[in-house]
């Protein structure tokens, strides 16, 4: 058994629970796709599960479907992606800065709050049949003849726990980066100024001394700058969603006490703008920045060459904040009530800013690999290349739909959720997180990966499965298949759904190969040591030897 | 910024210009009237959404090919979507129907036929039932 350090163990715990959430989310996705393909296929399972649901009436198939559809992205994003990101950053940030995490007690607290908050949301969907979807379009979450009141209250409590936890995590990351042991020794306002790119802008305009140091120049690796910069988006996202949650909670508690508040008091379009502005900070802000930062970290490590174009990369990191703060209207391109100028500028033109920032990011990443030739195609490098492919494919689909003209026929179709969102999340972000796991395990445990062949099986089945699934569903979307809609059978979209199920099956094979490989590498004792107290485990081993 | 980076930035700029110029031009057919000519509609059709129902004019919607029709959709409760579909399930166009606002869209049908109307936004568990078959008749 290898001795794994305290922080390394917590990183692995975050990863393990994150992967459990990925499995849950994937299972939910497969169930929903099965129901779309053959609506009666799940009837037996639903009947059995309904016996343990404490609801007044037998839930309809649609209520169950939309309850699952509501929690599916919460589990996938705030469960899988955030847990893995938290675990990875809690190891990498202090490792790269060569200092300790500033508030160690927050590490286990973040772990439990994140897992607990996501599970409260999940339970509110499973038992409480909360079905307003993650979009929470006003006033649906407070329309209690459509959305169960108890489910609504529990969901926003779970979401609030997650958001507060994300704020705590971001605080810990910021305070570690800004720690007094840092030779740069920045104040919070200096950091914020640098995070928004103001100091760099002032230098460019000649208003400030160009030779003066500032945060983004001053010795931090691009990864740290990207993490800190991405965390600005993360904080804004958490605050906005928290505010929306509090609003829903106020209406819910009020209804519970017999005082019905008027939903029309809140303008649905203003709310939608506010909500998407905050929500998009994750989709078009921190996810892209955290991903870029991770490429900037992993690629030079894997190919043993300095990052290409580091100066441009640092500017891109700063500029992207302005982009991510201004693109939310691409979610409102279908809203004719939204002023046209907002749809054109924020929805389309500013969104193309991401084409430039991600285009330059991917260029720097690929050029680093190109200039390091010959490179050894290790498992993490393959997954990094897979993630770049995922962001290229998902980004291209996103730019097609984020267009005032083309959105007329793409909005709310399967194109958006499959070819854009799922390609980003499964092929882009998911593959990158696998790359991080493959790269970090030797660093955390000093153990070599058990089987490169299994890693290859994982890579190809995951890539073919995720790309294939997204592609066929994207084509269904281009044929008019809506997202969030149950079609009676037979319908013209069933062949696409059948092929998508094959894709999800391939991904399952890849995920199992990954788990077998990781458990084989770590060994059962090390895996058990993540959940069982070490003293107890060592005692049991001694007893077994005796 | 070195030579390779400048070249790549140039490539990105060219793609940006090409795609945006093409998609904002009348090469995307409906951009011709949505962005450029902005014609006065030949007729206006009111569509009222509420309680999972799509309220179309009781006399039906009769349109002629080439005519500009303005659809004005309102909702009395939650957000819905107004989508027009061909008989084979492919989408002609759609827009969101946000409560408290008039949601307007002008369309010109180029093909004769009968079209269905479906809500394209989730509005609660009965959302998928919001379908009106044979809702719009387009004649020569």
Nearest to B127 among A312, A367, A484 (CB): A484
Q: Does A392 touch chain B (CB under 8 A)?
A: no
The lowest-confidence range among A178-192, A238-252, B124-138 is A178-192
- pLDDT one-digit tens code per residue, A385-427: 999 999 999 999 999 999 999 999 999 999 999 999 999 999 9
Given an 8 Å threshold on Cβ–Cβ distance, is A480 in contact with B89? yes
Q: How confident is the model at residue A17, as a pLDDT?
A: 96
Given an 8 Å threshold on Cβ–Cβ distance, is B98 in contact with A269? yes
Given an 8 Å threshold on Cβ–Cβ distance, is A404 in contact with B100? no
Residues facing B95 on adjacent strands? B82
Distance from CA of A149 to the nearest CA of B (A): 13
Q: How confident is the model at residue A193, as a pLDDT?
A: 73
Higher pLDDT, A515 or A446: A515
Q: Per-residue pLDDT for A1 more than 60?
A: no
In percent, the amount of chain A with pLDDT more than 70 equals 93
Count CA atoms within 13 Å of residue A475 on its CB side. Answer: 13
Residues in chain B, how many? 140
Residues of B in contact with A268 (CB under 8 A): 79, 98-101
Given an 8 Å threshold on Cβ–Cβ distance, is A312 in contact with B98? no
SS3 at position B134: strand
pLDDT band at residue A5 under the 50/70/90 scheme? confident
Q: Where are the domains of chain B?
A: 1-38, 39-139
Residues of B in contact with A367 (CB under 8 A): 4
Which stretches does DSSP call E strand in A171-216? none
> Is 3.40.50.10800 the CATH classification of the domain at A376-546?
no
Which stretches within A420-451 are classed as H helix?
Answer: 431-445
Q: How confident is the model at residue A203, as a pLDDT?
A: 80
Q: Tell me the C-alpha distance between B138 and B98, whole Å.
A: 27
- pLDDT one-digit tens code per residue, B57-96: 999 999 999 999 999 999 999 999 999 999 999 999 999 9
SS3 at position A153: helix
pLDDT band at residue A99 under the 50/70/90 scheme? confident
pTM: 0.93
Given an 8 Å threshold on Cβ–Cβ distance, is B122 in contact with A133? yes
Are A424 and A287 in contact by the 8 Å Cβ rule? The answer is: yes
Q: Per-residue pLDDT for A434 more than 60?
A: yes
Given an 8 Å threshold on Cβ–Cβ distance, is A62 in contact with B118? no
Residues of A in contact with B9 (CB under 8 A): 356, 360
- pLDDT one-digit tens code per residue, A175-228: 888 776 555 556 667 767 766 677 777 887 888 887 776 665 566 788 988 888
- pLDDT one-digit tens code per residue, A117-169: 999 999 999 999 999 999 999 999 999 999 999 999 999 999 999 999 999 99
Q: How confident is the model at residue A539, as a pLDDT?
A: 67
Q: How confident is the model at residue A526, as a pLDDT?
A: 85
Mean pLDDT across B111-133: 98
> Is 2.60.40.420 the CATH classification of the domain at B39-139?
yes
Q: Does A359 touch chain B (CB under 8 A)?
A: yes
Given an 8 Å threshold on Cβ–Cβ distance, is A62 in contact with B126? yes
How is residue A109 written in tokens?
């607290």
Q: Does A337 touch chain B (CB under 8 A)?
A: yes
In percent, the amount of chain B with pLDDT more than 90 equals 99
- pLDDT one-digit tens code per residue, B10-44: 999 999 999 999 999 999 999 999 999 999 999 99
How is residue A336 written in tokens?
């004719």
Query: What is the overall mean pLDDT for chain A?
Result: 92
- pLDDT one-digit tens code per residue, A459-513: 999 999 999 999 999 999 999 999 999 999 999 999 999 999 999 999 999 999 9
Q: How confident is the model at residue A268, as a pLDDT?
A: 98
- pLDDT one-digit tens code per residue, A352-391: 999 999 999 999 999 999 999 999 999 999 999 999 999 9
Given an 8 Å threshold on Cβ–Cβ distance, is A137 in contact with B121? yes
Query: What is the overall mean pLDDT for chain B?
Result: 97
Task: Tell the residue number behind the tokens 């796991």, with chain if given.
Answer: A437
Nearest to B28 among A405, A485, A492 (CB): A405
Q: Tell me the C-alpha distance between A391 and A450, whole Å.
A: 29
Q: Where are the domains of chain A?
A: 376-546
Nearest to A146 among B103, B118, B125 (CB): B125
Whole-complex ipTM: 0.96
């Amino acid at each position: 058994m290898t001795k794994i350090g305290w922080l390394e163990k917590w990183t692995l715990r975050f990863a393990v629970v994150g992967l459990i959430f990925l499995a849950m989310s994937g299972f939910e996705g497969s169930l929903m796709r099965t129901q779309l393909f053959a609506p009666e296929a799940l009837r037996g399972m639903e009947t059995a599960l309904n016996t343990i649901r404490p609801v007044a009436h037998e839930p309809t198939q649609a209520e169950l479907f939309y309850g699952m559809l509501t929690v599916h992205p919460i589990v996938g994003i705030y469960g899988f992606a955030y847990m893995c990101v938290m675990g990875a950053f809690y190891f990498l940030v202090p490792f790269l800065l060569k200092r300790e995490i500033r508030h160690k007690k927050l590490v286990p607290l973040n772990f439990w709050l994140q897992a607990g908050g996501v599970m409260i949301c999940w339970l509110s969907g499973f038992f409480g049949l909360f079905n307003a979807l993650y979009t929470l379009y006003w006033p649906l979450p407070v329309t209690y003849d459509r959305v169960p009141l108890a489910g609504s209250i529990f969901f926003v409590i779970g979401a609030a726990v997650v958001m507060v936890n994300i704020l705590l995590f971001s605080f810990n990351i910021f305070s570690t980066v800004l720690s007094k042991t840092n030779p740069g020794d920045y104040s919070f306002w200096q950091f914020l100024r640098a995070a928004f790119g103001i100091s760099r802008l002032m230098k460019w305009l000649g208003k400030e001394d160009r030779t003066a140091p500032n945060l983004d120049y001053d010795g931090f690796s691009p990864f740290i700058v990207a993490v800190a910069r991405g965390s600005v988006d993360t904080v804004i996202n958490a605050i906005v969603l928290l505010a929306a949650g509090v609003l829903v909670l106020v209406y819910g508690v009020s209804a519970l006490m017999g005082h019905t508040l008027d939903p029309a008091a809140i303008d649905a379009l203003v709310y939608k703008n506010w909500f998407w502005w905050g929500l998009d900070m994750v989709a078009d802000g921190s996810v892209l920045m955290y991903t870029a930062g991770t490429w900037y970290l992993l690629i030079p490590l894997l190919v043993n060459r300095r990052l290409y174009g580091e100066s441009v990369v640092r500017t891109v990191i700063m500029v992207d904040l302005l982009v991510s703060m201004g693109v939310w209207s691409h979610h409102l391109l279908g809203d004719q009530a939204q002023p046209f100028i907002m749809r054109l500028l924020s929805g389309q033109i500013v969104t193309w800013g991401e084409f430039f920032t991600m285009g330059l990011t991917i260029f720097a990443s690929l050029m680093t690999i190109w200039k390091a030739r010959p490179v050894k195609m290790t498992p993490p490098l393959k997954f990094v290349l897979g993630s770049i492919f995922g962001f290229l494919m998902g980004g291209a689909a996103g730019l097609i739909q984020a267009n005032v003209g083309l959105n007329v026929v793409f909005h709310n179709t399967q194109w958006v959720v499959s070819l854009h969102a799922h390609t980003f999340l499964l092929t882009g972000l998911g593959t990158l997180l696998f790359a991080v796991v493959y790269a970090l395990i030797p660093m955390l445990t000093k153990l070599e990966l058990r089987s490169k062949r299994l890693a290859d099986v994982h890579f190809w089945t995951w890539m073919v499965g995720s790309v294939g699934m997204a592609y066929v569903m994207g084509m269904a979307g281009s044929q008019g298949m809506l997202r969030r809609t149950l079609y009676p059978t037979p319908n013209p979209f069933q062949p696409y759904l059948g092929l998508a199920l094959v894709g999800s099956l391939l991904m399952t094979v890849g995920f199992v190969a990954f788990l077998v490989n990781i458990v084989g590498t770590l060994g059962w004792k090390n895996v058990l040591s993540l959940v069982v107290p070490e003293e107890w485990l060592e005692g049991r081993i001694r007893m077994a030897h005796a | 910024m070195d030579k390779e980076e400048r070249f790549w930035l140039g490539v990105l700029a060219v793609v940006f210009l090409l795609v945006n110029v093409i998609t904002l031009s009348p090469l995307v057919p409906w951009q011709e009237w949505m962005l450029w000519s902005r014609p006065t509609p030949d007729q206006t059709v009111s569509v009222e959404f509420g309680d999972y129902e799509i309220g179309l004019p009781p006399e039906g919607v009769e349109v002629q090919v080439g005519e500009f029709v303005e659809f004005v959709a309102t909702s009395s409760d939650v957000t819905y979507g107004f989508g027009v579909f061909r008989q084979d399930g492919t989408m002609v166009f759609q827009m969101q129907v946000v409560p408290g606002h008039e949601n307007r869209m002008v369309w010109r049908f180029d093909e004769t036929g009968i079209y269905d109307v479906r809500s394209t936004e989730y509005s609660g568990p009965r959302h998928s039932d919001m379908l009106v078959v044979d809702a719009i008749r387009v004649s020569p």
